[in-house]
Structure 1
Amino acid sequence: MNTLMRNPTYLKLLAAQIVALSGTGLLTVGLGLLAYDLAGSQAGAVLGIAYTIKMVAYVGLSPIAQALASRLPRKAVLIGADLLRAAVALALPFVDALWQVYVLIFLLQAASATFTPAYQALLPDVLPDEEEYTRALSLSRLCYDLENLTSPALAGLLLSVVSYSGLFVGTVIGFLGSAVLVLVAVLPVVKVDQKAGFVERATKGLRIYLATPRLRGLLAVTLAGAAASAFVLVNTVVMVRVGYSGSERGLAVAMAAFGAGSMVVALALPGVLKRVSDRSVMLGATLALVALMAVLAVWFRAELPSWWAFLLLWAGIGGLYSGILTPSGRLIRRSGASADLPALFAAHFALSHVCWLITYPLAGWTGARLGMGAAMGLLAVLALGGLIAAMLLWHKEVAHQHPELSEDDPHMQANGGMRTHAHPRVRDALHPRWS
């Protein structure tokens, strides 16, 4: 960790992530208040449409945005996305119609669909050592969880002295701060294929992703994690306020328990992954999550657990969710050449959000219509399907041969000159497809 914290480029990028996440957290609170100001009792429907727009933008625009930006300097792409996000946040206090909110949300999420995969693809080049990169992934997960805990508190503090429009100013400051930190960072340069056409660039990440067994497995376990997290994010408020007759503070405590579980596992994972393979950790966490969801489905149909048991269960879901998602960057990093990583991260960004696009409405509809036990049961079945698919799709690393290569070929030499060898599965000219 000390080596990681002495890397000036990484520290600037980490700080950029933190201030941008803080801005995003303030935006979430401010957007809810703006929706209520414009739509009153229909604010929930407005936010539902806004978040659907967010998911559609993430799924549809991420590969396209990556293809458009692939020939531009990465620093320019990141700064441009931050400036667009800041401009949208600056415009939000002045809207007076719902359609304007929807347009601005679409622009904001289009910028985020550009920024996030580009940022994720940058880290492996900044941190070539896998151990340091693993620690960085854990810190990134920690930042997301801390933002979920601290942003509502920060928003509440600001609202005691300013109107909700002031929250958007805080959002602008966060995105501009992120842009400045990226500007002063010295980023590595990666050569890109200047001959590839737009369609090839836009689909390259998806083609590599879906042709790589470990990444198909990653998508399957991501679906399982999305099933559990969607239930927590959508239905916790109903369970706390109705089932436990709790207050807004009770809701904050429940979500804090979920985040605390996630943080504990994220901090422990770098040490665990030194001894246990990513596949074993992620499949094990998925299996445990499916089992826990099945138990909760039966439990919720009979009665609610005690409040303290509920908090422990939510912490357990958060921990297992983190065990599934945190190592994902390691798998993507091993699955493509450096120049292909932006396309791969964009593909994962889009495909993973398809999972949430499925599970969010499923969690909300079944919870409202069929009850919490049935909702958890249906999502547990979906998670089980993800686990089974992952076990079938994600093969263990196997030895292979290259009979077409001479013994002095660089690839053969890189693998000790052995005709039969094994290495992380990377889809390239020598390995166009893995069975």
Structure 2
Amino acid sequence: MSDYKPLSDYGIIGNLETCALVGRDGAIDWCCLPRLNSSSVFAALLDDEIGGRFAIHPDGEYEAEQQYMERTNVLQTTFHTESGTARVTDFMPLSPDNDGNQPKVRGIYRNVTCTEGSVDLAVEFDPRFDYARADSRVESISDGIVATGDARRLTLSSPLDLDCDDSAADGTLSLSEYDSEWFVLEYGTRAPTGDDSCEHLLDNTVEFWRDWAHDCPDGEDCPFADYGHDMVVRSDLTLKLLTYQGTGGITAAPTTSLPEVVGGVRNWDYRYNWLRDGAFTVRAFGNLGDTEEAVDYLDDFLELGQSVDPADLQPIYGLQHGSTYEEQELDHLEGYRGSAPVRIGNGAADQLQLGIYGELVLAINQLSWSDRSIAGDDWEAVRDIVDYVCEVWERPDAGIWEMRSGPKQFVHSKAMCWVCLLYTS
């Protein structure tokens, strides 16, 4: 079996449309473009041999460590070698005036800086479009590489001339102390690649995250003070990364097919918005004062509740609602550490899960604590949900565990039906 990294060796970056997982070895092993639920461009996470990656690491032995810039989702990987130290800073641009709009610049920005001595960095650019199913090609251009496949196109701006074969490019970048260079992976639109522009985008992205992140004003008590505070802030920043600005949706995870148990078969595609999990996240946002994210999410689903009958509410939705849910197994990928099958799509969309109604009502109850009023058509949608729960609460369902062996009676489902009535009576 190939040498897969522990999942704890990955950091995450993103732009509220998609995310990328960056290993402590400097490899982007998972990324779907342009959105989180698009097909993958890099999927070495699910097949170390053919999945594809974008790696930058020392050419030789090294030790590495990762950390985020304080109160941001800007990731820094530091490499220590015998000859020197180098740092890779990874981010996807956002700006302080983004405010619910789509990112103004779409790209993955990777800055490499030698902070001590000298370091030779090996660069490997190996995109494999459409979960490594498409015919992926790379070719040199004047300032980098163009990659094509599955009717898509990526452009990598590179400070060195990379050697190309048909499907991948590589090279070695030699840095001396204080040297700093930028790699920019563009998709969708042309992205700025000049050094000053890249630095400006980094500054803006840091400002965006620090403006958003939970902090504790001087003189005010923080309910998350003491030893757990930094972990709460990091968790909050990660949850924010899983929100989708276009709809306010919240994805359960940025990945598919990571196994519950290594070698097992319960490997599901979690790049969907579970009503239940979204409701959990809304309550966490509310407790942390992130009212805007909670309101955006619940506004979206209150609007959905007005447009469909409660019996037709699905347990999960795509981030754009109109997603494909049909499950497929990708037999050509071996899965993380050999955990097959790799799946895309999720059949849970067709299940009856009675617990979702109570979770939604709990989240709406928390929303009522904010300045957002619940009235008119919103209350009618909630009333229709309550009436429906009164009709069906005794029915067997798939439950919180989404059992695929047929509907059963689950205590949790009954309890959440009771919660639905309790918080609306």
Larger proportion of helix: 1
Relative contact order (C-alpha < 8 Å, sep 6+): which is higher?
A: 1
TM bucket, shorter chain: under 0.3
Larger proportion of strand: 2
